[in-house]
A and B are shown apart, each in its own frame.
Chain A
């Protein structure tokens, strides 16, 4: 957290700490603006440490916010905007990486671990149950038992 604060402090060095969206950027159409905000949250400020362009006050973040709004005003769908931004800045700009071969492990890990863990637990539980039920008597043991019972 300290580090976070430190970084925020260092990054804020250049301009005065103005924050995120400025009134002059806001679109008149509230629906479009809402879409722009939702997109901004998922786009990374390229010069910042783990900040979305929605949170950042850096020049570059501002440019990107304006760019997103311009595309939206030109009638792009959300996907088209994202595609365009990615084509310009690369996958790095997405805070939630797309599902691909490279991010396969990342995206499947939670489900695989959960299912794998559950499977292991089930196997252990079954193993224990089996260990608890005694093995059936061998023929010899049965004979011996019969003998004992018969004697009595």
Chain B
């Protein structure tokens, strides 16, 4: 019964979305307050309905109601409770429900926090959100309905894919979707601004916190997914340039560009048209990602052709929204007035450079991802575009960007002093060079390019610190005064510094791992010792174990350094009983930022196992850096400027006047 009510709630949500799609827009045109007021109420109702619907589905999972086809296909009564929860979105239908839930969650947030928005803008933004909601609710109801029953109900479910039975599934998709879908708000704001034909610094100020929030969640989601793949897939890779990864990385890159261009728009009223375009592109890439992942088009063009209903439906959504938004843009953008002027060497100029490189990088990944697909469709020829291509092109594009990052915050708005910025960065550059060389020496050399990479990484970190150093004016002012100045800096300054510092840390991790990683593949018998990363691993033998829904063979390893035992680990191979599916659970031991990664292979004749041992130096920096970036995002989000939010409507003219005076 609960299921049917949940199903019905989803249908009601569709009806509500339709109303919110139309009525507030008419209200905004006629300046009818009552019609516009429908938008926030309707958005919150939509959220409650979808929340109920989602809860009903979750309920079915928790009580293992196998009369529901979706539950039967993806759950098992013996599964641990946490995976019964997270299993809700571990499949196509459920993950679309999560997508929808997060979408209406953002609409409700705009409705709730947007009380200080001008009425027409709010009505239009929420209507645009409702258009997206309508499309995706229809998609779920027509092609991916999780509420379908089975009759007779099976006694036992088919179990969740074992690889998904991991805490990663509980965290990764919600974070990723909070980011992905969060950009819908920026999209709706852009569309609403185009509909009104008016856009100003206040608009950028309203959009920026949403961009920042979405970006922060997406950063966390991607990093989390990368770590999950790293420890779960068993060969220690952390980024594969898989089309599905690219699908989440492209909105991240575009979103990063948006974050920076919105800054220019907020402070200087420049780059208006470009910011609007970026907002549209970022969410379009999110939609494209959804299409790529959900339609099955990536697995094979032919798989797509045999069951194209879902793919065609999302493709239609894609074309409708992207095409519609771009058409609106082409029509209305010329009406937007260009804003403040600036010299090429200036804060604005550096942010334009940032946008240029990030956009080209996004386009490169987009082209690389779609090229094989398009080529095969057009000519029937099959080519592959894989990691080596992306590493090369993306890597080359990132070098100038990484070099430029510390300069940006050092340049003044309007007209900057490059020489002055360089002088202030001498210290950071010197320290980076020393740190890079020291690390290179400690690691016993290696390719000369590695020094270059390491120095760039440290340059990013020290550059970020130098920014704070000079803002507080350490070195010129007495330490006490400078310290007070430092603590008095706006939080967004710390946000910027943290994010840029985190970027450097991530780059450091990437360079270190790719340069100094070692891999040892050996046949090990009980009692044998292998050296890796300066540690000795002794294989103590295998043991069998039984989990709630799997059996496993686990090998024990004792790790010692200089004759002293420092750690031990289990590495296992599991067999999930319901699906007869094997997985590997690598043994991972952390030393500082570095890790030893032990993975079991096949048993060998005469006892013993094939064992793969990787030494992954500084690998934790990759995700640690992302974590720092994420913290930077939250710190910046808590900045007074954004916390107080866009000023109250009545106070606005005064505020704007003040800004103009600044």
Contacts and interface: CB of A to CB of B under 8 A. Distances in A.
B242 interface: yes
Interface in A7-22: 7-9, 12-13, 16-22
Contact of A20 (B228, B235, B389, B581): B235
By Cβ-Cβ distance, the 9 closest A-B pairs, closest first, are A95-B386, A1-B225, A96-B388, A92-B382, A9-B163, A3-B244, A18-B602, A110-B364, A5-B163
Interface residues of A, number: 50
12 contacts: A2-B164, A9-B583, A41-B388, A91-B382, A91-B383, A92-B382, A95-B385, A96-B385, A96-B388, A102-B375, A106-B371, A114-B397
A89 to B, nearest CB: 10
A94 B356 contact: no
B8 to A, nearest CB: 29
Given A1-B228, A2-B164, A19-B234, A49 B169 contact: no
Majority secondary structure, B binding face: helix
Given A55-B237, A95-B387, A132-B341, A1 B248 contact: yes
Interface in B61-109: 90, 95
B163 A6 contact: yes
B415 interface: no
A90 B242 CA distance: 21
B602 A4 contact: no
Interface string A14-47: 0011111111001000000000000001101000
Interface stretch (A68-76, A77-85, A117-125, A139-147): A117-125
A22 B521 contact: yes
Interface in A95-137: 95-97, 102-103, 105-106, 109-110, 113-114, 117-118, 121, 125, 128, 132
A96 B392 CA distance: 9
A93 interface: yes
B379 interface: yes
Interface string B340-363: 010010000000100011011101
A1 B234 CA distance: 15
A18 to B, nearest CB: 4
A52 B387 contact: yes
Contacts of B161: 5-6, 9
B219 to A, nearest CB: 14
Residue among B176, B241, B388 having the largest count of chain A Cβ atoms under 10 Å: B388
Interface in B363-396: 363-364, 367-368, 371, 375, 379, 381-389, 392-393, 396
A96 B371 contact: no
Given A2-B95, A5-B229, 16 more contacts: A1-B226, A1-B244, A2-B90, A2-B173, A4-B240, A4-B242, A7-B299, A13-B581, A21-B521, A23-B610, A41-B387, A49-B242, A93-B384, A96-B385, A105-B371, A110-B361
B243 interface: yes
Contact of A55 (B235, B375, B383): B235
B522 A121 contact: no
Interface of B: 90, 95, 161-164, 169, 172-173, 176, 225-226, 228-229, 232-235, 237, 240-245, 248, 293, 298-299, 341, 344, 352, 356-357, 359-361, 363-364, 367-368, 371, 375, 379, 381-389, 392-393, 396-397, 521-523, 573, 581-584, 599, 601-602, 610, 612
Given A2-B169, A22-B602, A97 B237 contact: no
Residue among A5, A9, A96, A103 having the largest count of chain B Cβ atoms under 10 Å: A5
A109 B387 contact: no
Contacts of B352: 121
Contacts of B225: 1-2
B384 A94 contact: yes
Contacts of A102: 375, 379, 381, 383
A16 B217 CA distance: 36
B242 A118 contact: no
Contacts of B386: 44, 50, 52, 95-96
Contacts of B357: 114
B235 A109 contact: no
A17 B299 contact: no
Nearest to A41: B388
Nearest to B584: A17
A127 to B, nearest CB: 10
A62 B359 CA distance: 39
Nearest to B603: A16
A13 B582 CA distance: 7
A90 B387 contact: no
Contacts of A91: 381-384
A121 B349 CA distance: 10
A18 B601 contact: yes
Contacts of A9: 161-163, 581, 583
